[in-house]
């Protein structure tokens, strides 16, 4: 306990300087702007900034990326409220009540509530980040290859299920395609080349940043330019400082949404958008004014915005302690940590315990900056939303092209970005979620090495995969998730539920 407080204090000292303040301010502002602009997502923002920060010292680089991440998820609420278009997928639930509020002439009130809810949500999440991450890292020390194998399968299956509620099959397909793409290039045990077909540039495998910039950047540009331009609900803003009474009235909703968001964030690959939806659904179920939901409910808006921002620290927890990201932006963050020579994973509390607490401070600082900018810069941010997409998207595309190139100086990475852009666009059009694909790309290497190492350890015996305690929890949960997605099982469960109700 006291050791933890000591690390927390040491970590704070790292950031008590002017450089930190400067970096937090500009990166959060960039994040809010990226989030507010439809078509620029948090994942794209963090990926593009990764390419711009790799010459910084690691702590400041990760600080910049986390600030951008926090800012972007919050910034997305602006376009959700004013344009009825979620700035990032995490703000989709915000449109349901935010846009009706704006149409009623209460856009400022909605933005103010979104700001405070996002702040509280992130603080709830960061509390659990400080509390859970060290404990989870300790538990993860017991993980062996058997557990990592199941963790990879569990991650892909549960992310596929939760990111594609109405069609889990497509989520799983996306996840397993991601795992398969990760098999391309030299494998990690004998350095044998796989699926390279004589193409030397494929030997190193598919790098994560080009794939992510393609999937979330180029695909998004194609989608935005294909769709019709959106119109703003209002350009008049009422008061943006939220009333304490509103926050007090919805305190239960905010705390519940914060807890749900954090928990959903921890689940591999699921992320902020699902955090917001589940928080929104739970708030609606528990609300006394549920008939207002979807028509401009302040409670619904609070739930969605608390849920998505609480998922940010939640998603960072497994990224830090298991090297398994909780969301797509956290996946980029994980890649950035590796680029900067940091080693997230079970050993983090042994090798660099201060870093975990530095991350806690990074999120706290970014949240404060987000709140300050969110309230003070309401009107300038409205102007950003008026920038025509035709003038913005070509510049963003140039950054999508040159960003991945800047890391390795290979033209090949530009072509990888393009390929994943087109693939991501087609898959999105056919309703395949992108988060499991990205998670699969990251977990592919873990799956590959873990299965083969585990089989060597057990000399081909499969029983440890099923009877070791953590393995058993993981495979049973995975099996239950798969079974529960089968339509016949769902119908049976619904019948049983209705019968009991009757």
345-384: which residues touch another protein (CB under 8 A)?
none
At CA 62, angle to CA 61 and CA 66, rounded to 5? 125
In this structure, what token pair is assigned to residue 204?
A: 């190193």
Structure tokens at 497: 């539920």
Q: Which CB, 135 or 456, lies closer to another protein?
A: 456
By CB under 8 A, name the one of 136, 183, 247, 375 that touches another protein. Answer: 183
Query: Which of 1, 430, 488, 502 is in the footprint of another protein by CB under 8 A?
Result: 430
Q: Which is nearer to another protein, 369 or 399 (CB)?
A: 399
Residues 32-91 that bind another protein (CB under 8 A): 52, 55
Position 220 contacts another protein (CB under 8 A): no
Strand partners, 194: 185
**Where do we find the tokens 């006291």?**
2
CB of 43 to another protein, least distance (A): 19
193, containing H or E segment: strand 193-194
Residue whose tokens read 């060290």: 134
By CB under 8 A, is residue 120 in contact with another protein? no
- Closer to another protein by Cβ: residue 55 or 386: 55
User: How many Cβ atoms are within 10 Å of 202's Cβ, its own excluded?
Assistant: 18
Q: How would DSSP label each residue in 408-446? A: H--HHHHHHHHHHHHHHHHHHHTT--SHHHHHHHHHHHH
Q: Which of 36, 119, 133, 393 binds another protein (CB under 8 A)?
A: 393
By DSSP bridging, strand 185-186 and strand 193-194 are antiparallel
Kindly indicate which of the ranges 58-66, 78-86, 306-314, 401-409 contains the residues binding another protein, using the contact rule CB under 8 A.
401-409
Tokens 């344009």, residue located: 83
213 binds another protein, rule: CB under 8 A: no
**Residue 406 touches another protein, criterion: CB under 8 A:** yes
149 vs 280, which CB is nearer to another protein?
A: 149
User: In this chain, which of 281, 282, 452, 481 binds another protein, going by CB under 8 A?
Assistant: 452
Question: Which residue, 147 or 305, has its beta carbon nearer to another protein?
Answer: 147
Q: How far is CA 75 from CA 64, 114, 156, 277, 375, in A?
A: 16, 10, 28, 17, 12
Question: Which residues are CB-contacts of 128 (< 8 A; sequence separation ≥ 6)?
Answer: 262, 313, 314, 317
Neighbours of 349 (CB within 10 A): 22
**387 or 473, CB closer to another protein?**
387
Distance of CA 392 to the CA centre of its chain: 24
Instruction: State yes or no: residue 232 binds another protein (CB under 8 A).
Output: no
Q: Least distance in Å: CB of 379 to another protein?
A: 23
Paired strand residues for 193? 186
- Asked if 1 touches another protein (CB under 8 A), the answer is no
Q: What whole-number distance in Å separates Cα of residue 201 and Cα of residue 224? A: 31
Among 200, 245, 390, 488, binds another protein (CB under 8 A): 390
Q: Which of 209, 161, 206 is CA-nearest to residue 436? A: 161
Min dist CB 429 to another protein, Å, is: 8
Q: Does 394 bind another protein (CB under 8 A)?
A: yes
CB neighbour class for 263 (10 Å; exposed up to 12, middle 13-18, buried from 19): middle
Q: By CB under 8 A, tell whether 169 contacts another protein.
A: yes
Q: In the complex, what is the shortest distance from the CB of residue 354 to another protein, in angstroms, rounded to a whole number?
A: 27
Check residue 395 for interaction with another protein (CB under 8 A): yes
CB of 227 to another protein, least distance (A): 7
218 counts as binding another protein under rule CB under 8 A = yes
d(CA 498, CA 242) in angstroms, rounded, equals 42
Q: Which of 447, 468, 471, 478 binds another protein (CB under 8 A)?
A: 447
Q: Which is nearer to another protein, 231 or 390 (CB)?
A: 390
Give the DSSP letter string of 391-414: HHHHHHHHHHHHHHHHHH--HHHH
Q: Which pair of tokens denotes residue 410?
A: 């290979």
Residue 414 contacts another protein per CB under 8 A:
yes
**SS3 category, 234:** coil
Of 64, 66, 222, 317, the one binding another protein by CB under 8 A: 222
Nearer to another protein, 422 or 481 (CB): 422
Q: Which residues bind another protein (CB under 8 A)?
A: 52, 55, 169-170, 172-173, 176-177, 179-180, 183, 187, 189-190, 192, 194-195, 218, 221-222, 225-228, 388, 390-391, 393-395, 397-399, 401-402, 405-406, 409, 411, 414-415, 417-418, 422, 430-431, 447-448, 451-453, 455-456, 460
């Amino acid at each position: 306990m006291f050791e933890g407080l000591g690390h927390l204090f040491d970590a704070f000292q790292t950031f008590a300087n002017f450089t930190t303040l400067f970096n937090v301010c500009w990166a959060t502002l960039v994040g809010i702007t990226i989030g507010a602009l439809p078509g620029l997502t948090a994942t794209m923002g963090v990926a593009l900034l990764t390419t711009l920060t790799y010459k910084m010292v690691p702590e400041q680089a990760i600080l910049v990326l986390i600030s951008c991440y926090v800012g972007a998820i919050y910034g997305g609420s602006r376009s959700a409220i004013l344009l009825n278009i979620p700035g990032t997928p995490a703000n989709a639930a915000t449109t349901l009540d935010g846009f009706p509020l704006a149409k009623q002439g209460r856009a400022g009130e909605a933005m103010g509530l979104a700001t405070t809810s996002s702040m509280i949500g992130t603080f709830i999440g960061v509390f659990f980040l400080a509390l859970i991450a060290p404990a989870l890292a300790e538990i993860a020390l017991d993980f062996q290859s058997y557990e990592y194998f199941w963790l990879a399968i569990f991650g892909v299956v549960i992310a596929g299920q939760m990111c594609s509620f109405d069609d889990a099959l497509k989520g799983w397909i996306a996840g397993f395609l991601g795992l398969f793409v990760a098999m391309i290039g030299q494998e990690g045990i004998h350095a044998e080349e796989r699926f390279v077909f004589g193409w030397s540039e494929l030997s190193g495998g598919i790098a994560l940043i080009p794939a992510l910039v393609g999937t979330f950047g180029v695909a998004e540009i194609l989608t935005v330019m294909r769709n019709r331009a959106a119109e703003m609900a209002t350009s008049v803003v009422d008061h943006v400082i939220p009333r304490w009474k509103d926050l007090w009235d919805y305190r239960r909703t905010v705390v519940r949404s914060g807890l749900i968001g954090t928990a959903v964030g921890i689940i591999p690959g699921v992320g902020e958008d699902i955090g917001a939806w589940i928080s929104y659904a739970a708030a609606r179920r528990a609300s006394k004014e549920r008939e207002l939901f979807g028509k401009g409910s302040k409670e619904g808006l609070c739930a969605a915005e608390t849920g998505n921002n609480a998922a940010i620290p939640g998603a960072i927890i497994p990224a830090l302690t298991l090297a398994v990201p909780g969301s797509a932006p956290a996946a980029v963050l994980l890649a950035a940590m590796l680029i900067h020579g940091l080693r997230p994973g079970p050993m983090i509390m042994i090798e660099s315990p201060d870093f975990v607490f530095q991350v806690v401070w990074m999120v706290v600082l970014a949240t404060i900056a987000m709140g300050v900018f969110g309230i003070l810069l309401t009107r300038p941010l409205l102007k950003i939303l008026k920038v025509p997409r035709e003038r913005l998207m070509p510049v963003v595309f140039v950054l999508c092209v040159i960003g991945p190139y800047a890391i390795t100086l290979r033209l090949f990475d530009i072509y990888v970005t393009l390929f994943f852009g087109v693939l991501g666009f087609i898959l999105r059009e056919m309703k395949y979620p992108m988060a499991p694909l990205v998670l699969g790309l990251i977990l592919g290497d873990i799956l590959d090495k873990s299965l083969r190492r585990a089989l060597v350890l057990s000399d081909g015996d499969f029983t440890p995969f099923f009877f070791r305690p953590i393995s058993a929890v993981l495979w049973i949960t995975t099996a239950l998730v798969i079974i529960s997605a089968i339509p016949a099982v769902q119908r049976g469960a619904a019948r049983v539920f209705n019968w009991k109700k009757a």
